[in-house]
Structure 1
């Protein structure tokens, strides 16, 4: 049965979204306005495109599957998809092979929706989340839990493909949230990263290279339990996004 209240609060009612924050190893909820059920659907689809689990022209899962995955009602998902079709982000096709598809010109449509001010607000909250996770987990994270993150850093050093670099950058932040806060915090980080995918251009390779240096510094400081330098590495990474 679908949880119509959503995983982190009543997403179906704008203005009543609840956000997990870090405290004593658990997530507790605080109100955060501006994230409706439709926003959640949009951000998660944008994240799927960034992670290349779906690509322009691909068919999305059925409404019931998306509703189950996101923990919101089918009617909320259906309305969100209709809105995205009206915006040109998705295409609706009828018939036996029909369904809802990522628009072929997804990148062009998203580019018209970029909003630097809103992106800065989301990024500020993401910074707060990651600084809290790093401060809370520093010195307590087994080194093997960081191995997957180190592998992502190394892979980013080996590729020059812009789309792949953007994908790896997104994956790093999702995996960092899970390594330091668990699966529930990864879900919340996915909301933030997905919103950033809609609000900011795909990062250029040189930008990701600079950010990846901060990734490496962060993992090195976490590995030796140095809280303050680790937090500074997170801050330096977020500053580089706005240069």
Structure 2
């Protein structure tokens, strides 16, 4: 699988390959939600990295050239995006031999000022539509063992106690679900959505994550049985779980 905390591939991916099941998939190029500018993409992907714990407040980011290659956009665009994030207080620029661009130690405080209920609702609604569509295509078509990795995430989430780890596992479940049901292109689209949501919606608290994880478990049970209606209900229940934060 593509490493969600690392190289995501080009910003405008080709038509995603069909998953192993042979089920048809949605074309990420024609779906809404890919309208980010290059600068917005940098912001959302850095936010996703923080959520996935691949970087933490105070950590140094890769150089602009490395980020540009990973995201498939120009280095100048990345540099401008990083400068804008420094101006916003999300990042810190340090000079000298040990300098570079760092995630601001006050990241959470600054992100809280960026929360936007309207945008969060719009992005959340599209994410719901996307997952319902993927479930509709995948139910009854998955090969044996296709859901094993997702089940492992559900099991780990049930045992986890650290709030940051719980949020990371919740996010990874949706990235892996998108790839399992729709291929690498759907993972890219989901990464776009989740990164943007990290900036405009409050992170779920541990109690909410546990409730959401029960929805994950129900979804996998329905997919194992090939029950389309039940799987779609589980996706919708996740959306309407307490605080609707996941």
TM norm structure 1 = 0.89
**Equivalence for 2:178:** 177
Alpha-carbon distance, 1:26 to partner: 5.6
2:97 is the counterpart of 1:96: yes
Report matched runs for 1:1-243 at 5 Å: 6-8=10-12, 24-25=24-25, 27-30=27-30, 32=32, 34-240=35-241, 241-242=243-244
Partners of 2:90 and 2:15 in 1: how far apart?
A: 27
> Unpaired runs of 5+ in structure 1?
1-5, 10-17
Contact 1:19 1:32 in 2 (8 A): no
Partners of 2:28 and 2:85 in 1: how far apart?
A: 31
Partners of 1:137 and 1:63 in 2: how far apart?
A: 38
Q: 2:147 is paired with a residue of what secondary structure? A: helix
Contact 2:28 2:189 in 1 (8 A): no
Deviation per residue, 1:62-96 (Å, 9 max, x gap): 11111111111111111111110000000011111
Deviation per residue, 1:156-210 (Å, 9 max, x gap): 1112211111000000000000111111211111111111111111211111111
Partners of 1:150 and 1:188 in 2: how far apart?
A: 22
Contact 1:19 1:30 in 2 (8 A): no
**Equivalence for 1:3:** none
Q: Indicate the RMSD between aligned Cα atoms, in angstroms.
A: 2.0
Contact 2:28 2:186 in 1 (8 A): no
Partners of 2:42 and 2:181 in 1: how far apart?
A: 25
**Greater RCO, 1 or 2 (C-alpha within 8 Å, sep 6+):** 2
Alpha-carbon distance, 1:116 to partner: 1.2
Q: 1:101 is paired with a residue of what secondary structure? A: strand
> Unpaired runs of 5+ in structure 2?
1-9
Q: 1:35 is paired with a residue of what secondary structure? A: coil
Q: 2:97 is paired with a residue of what secondary structure? A: coil
Q: 1:43 is paired with a residue of what secondary structure? A: helix
Structure 1 residue ranges (4+ consecutive) displaced by more than 4 angstroms after TM superposition: none
Partners of 1:146 and 1:28 in 2: how far apart?
A: 22
* Count of paired positions: 229
Q: 2:48 is paired with a residue of what secondary structure? A: helix
